[in-house]
Structure 1
Amino acid sequence: MRTPLSILLAALAGLLAALSFVAARADDLVHTPEPLQQIAGSMSQDQRLREAVPEELGRLVEEQLPDAGDSGGSWDGFAGLLQTGLVQLVQRSAEGLVTDERFPAAWSEVIEQTRTDWVARIDRLAEDLPTPADAAREAASWDAASPSESSPSESSPADDAATVHLQIAPLMDLGVDRLADAVSGVPGGESIAETLENGLADASEDSLTSVDLSVPDPDAVPRDAMVMTVDNLHRWPWLAGASAVLALVALLVAPRRRRGVPLVVLGMTILAVGVVCRWGLEEMAPAAGVDGIARAASASLLDGIRDYWMPDTAILLGCGGLALAMGAVTTMVSHRRRRAIS
């Protein structure tokens, strides 16, 4: 009876130890700017993004340009030919954006605004997350309702609220600055720049500068599960403490001649978590149906997260292997002692 109990406790200790390590690293990634800034550096050099960003920003800036025939605006007296020339200027300005010396700083700000926006969204959803009792009452009320009625979860407009939204306003600012510099010598250039800046402000208010990356994939990760997980990442020290206590109890409960068994189970559990994490990181891919800058950015972000966490899986595998080896050695020594005594 003591051996099975020690095995169970050791397995729980190994699981909690691995989860506490993963949660600690995830907490750093989500709630501190430094890890994502490291990822941002590699993302700014990603060729997929360097191709997608100018196209998207060029489109957004062009949408802020009034038509040549508009009256009462800065385009009065401008011919359609001049408007066409300005559109081409916008495209050239956007194409040169990624080579601008200000681009790395702007991209760094994009990543930080993206992180803070996602954290704020998760915090807001966590406050609205129903308790188990509330969920049970809501489920009961919908079971009693007419079958033709749909549940709130089926029509909620915030189903994608737990996904990451890329905040590209800093890049839009840089694009408008570049265009303003380019048209500074054109008659009416200041009015054109002002029109673009006003249009950018309207675009920000309309969330046109926020691109949903569908990370994590809402079809694979339930929203409530993601919210609860992120909201509890800061509790990783409790997981680590519980793991240490369970491991100690497992060693104390195990018979003396089988003290190596809990260590073997502990190591195998940590190894299993490490393998699962490594497999999960390798399988990460942009959500289906995502294209354009959203697909390029999500693929680049997932690559950065994969590079950030892969060394951690090696640490898990190393710690698990060490515990397994210690357990195996302890078991061998105990077995030899029994044979020597007999």
Structure 2
Amino acid sequence: MPTPLRNIAAVVLLLAAVLLGTGSLLGSAASTMIDTPEPLQRILGPLATDPELRRVLPDELGAVLGQRLTGDTAIPGQLAGPLQDAIDSAGGALLDGPGFPAAWATTIETARADFTTRLADAADAADVAGAAGGGQVTLRLDLAPLLGSGYDTLQASLDGSALGALLPTTLSLPPAVLDTGWPSAQQLPTETLNAWLSVARAWGWMLAGALVAAAAGLLLATRSGRPWAVLSGGLMALALGGGARLWIGYLGPGTTTAAAPGVESLVTARMLAALEGELAAVATILVTSGIVLLLLGAVWGWWAARDRDVPVRG
């Protein structure tokens, strides 16, 4: 192969290596977040003690709990008011029960499992119908585990009272779903998200491809062409890092069509902050790697030029 073609092919291979490496970084983070429980627990778990959540969640739980007790039990209608007053008086105590942290963790995991299941269903529907099929898939929260914890706390607070004696020992708690509305179809269509995830889950293959492409490019390049191939890889890494930083705000509140109130907005804000953090980390890695590759290529090129200029003795 002619020398110019070898060096051009080497540059292309180094660019491909950087692209595949970037895809591997993003894919590993995305697939880990959506397919394993730990990242979402780490992101949303601290909300259990967040002052803002403790301000809005008791009202949400109290309203749903009051509806379930008056609608699904034999409590007389005339006691509905006093019962709701008792629930409202319990207020923050609903979040102080010993079972609340575990209930919150269950709600988080249920939300993740529900989201991934509906994504898979939407992908299956798209395969069959050739379209998005199931509509936009958004993150939903099931309050049923929290209601169970809150009901235990309510029973304990009313124990020994006439109203407490009317409460059933157990309460049927079907799903009580809150839809965050995120991501919206304008931000990230479900069909696009599924396509991205199918690629992201192959992050290991992308990493292997990046290593092979980098090695092949360096071996294929001539001695004078290797510094240029490394420099091209550095420029690509810098460009991708800058692009990632520009994209960080795209999924944020500025593109949300309607902010959900209360619990939903808090969860959405925490998720967006986590995604921004992941993208910022990848952007930092890319920019740092780009700077290192540029410096390496420049030093390598200078050294190669110096060796060519040194006269041979003897």
1:263-317 Cα deviation digits (max 9, x unpaired): 1222222233333333433454242213212112211222234345544443333
2:205 pairs with one of 223, 226, 238: 238
Question: Residue 27 in 1 paired to residue 31 in 2?
Answer: yes
- Residue-pair matches, total: 305
Amino acid at match of 2:259: V
Q: Aligned-pair distance for 1:111?
A: 1.2
Runs of at least 5 residues in structure 1 that lack an aligned partner in the other structure: 136-151
The aligned residue for residue 141 of structure 1 is none
The aligned residue for residue 66 of structure 1 is 70
1:164 pairs with one of 139, 157, 180: 139
Asked if the contact 2:11–2:217 (Cα under 8 Å) also holds between the matched residues in 1, the reply is yes
Which whole-Å CA distance do the structure 1 matches of 2:184 and 2:306 have between them?
A: 53
Amino acid at match of 2:153: R
Question: Residue 175 in 1 paired to residue 179 in 2?
Answer: no
Runs of at least 5 residues in structure 2 that lack an aligned partner in the other structure: none
Which whole-Å CA distance do the structure 1 matches of 2:274 and 2:49 have between them?
A: 11
1:92-143 Cα deviation digits (max 9, x unpaired): 3343333444332222221111111112222222333328xx74xxxxxxxx
Question: Residue 314 in 1 paired to residue 284 in 2?
Answer: yes
Q: Structure 1 92/265 Cα, relative in aligned 2: closer, same or farther at 3 Å?
A: farther
Question: Residue 43 in 1 paired to residue 47 in 2?
Answer: yes
Asked if the contact 1:251–1:262 (Cα under 8 Å) also holds between the matched residues in 2, the reply is yes
Q: Aligned-pair distance for 1:224?
A: 0.8
Which whole-Å CA distance do the structure 2 matches of 1:308 and 1:225 have between them?
A: 19
Question: Residue 95 in 1 paired to residue 64 in 2?
Answer: no
Asked if the contact 2:228–2:297 (Cα under 8 Å) also holds between the matched residues in 1, the reply is yes
Amino acid at match of 2:304: S
Query: Aligned-residue CA RMSD in angstroms?
Result: 2.8
Asked if the contact 1:123–1:231 (Cα under 8 Å) also holds between the matched residues in 2, the reply is no
Question: Residue 124 in 1 paired to residue 121 in 2?
Answer: yes
Deviates more, 1:305-314 or 1:111-120: 305-314
Asked if the contact 2:242–2:283 (Cα under 8 Å) also holds between the matched residues in 1, the reply is yes
Which whole-Å CA distance do the structure 2 matches of 1:41 and 1:191 have between them?
A: 34
Asked if the contact 1:274–1:317 (Cα under 8 Å) also holds between the matched residues in 2, the reply is yes
Q: Structure 1 254/38 Cα, relative in aligned 2: closer, same or farther at 3 Å?
A: same
The aligned residue for residue 6 of structure 1 is 10
| Secondary structure, aligned partner of 2:178 | strand
Q: Structure 1 238/36 Cα, relative in aligned 2: closer, same or farther at 3 Å?
A: same
Q: Aligned-pair distance for 1:42?
A: 2.8
| Secondary structure, aligned partner of 1:166 | strand
Amino acid at match of 1:160: Q
The aligned residue for residue 75 of structure 1 is 75
Q: Structure 1 330/122 Cα, relative in aligned 2: closer, same or farther at 3 Å?
A: same
| Secondary structure, aligned partner of 1:211 | strand
Q: Structure 1 271/92 Cα, relative in aligned 2: closer, same or farther at 3 Å?
A: farther
Which whole-Å CA distance do the structure 2 matches of 1:324 and 1:58 have between them?
A: 59
Identical aligned residues as a percent: 26
1:24-71 Cα deviation digits (max 9, x unpaired): 12222111222222213333233332222222212211222437xx9x
Which whole-Å CA distance do the structure 1 matches of 2:27 and 2:144 have between them?
A: 31
| Secondary structure, aligned partner of 1:257 | coil
1:232-261 Cα deviation digits (max 9, x unpaired): 432111111111222222223333212111
Asked if the contact 1:267–1:324 (Cα under 8 Å) also holds between the matched residues in 2, the reply is yes
2:195 pairs with one of 228, 235, 242: 228
1:78-102 Cα deviation digits (max 9, x unpaired): 7x4x432221221233433334443
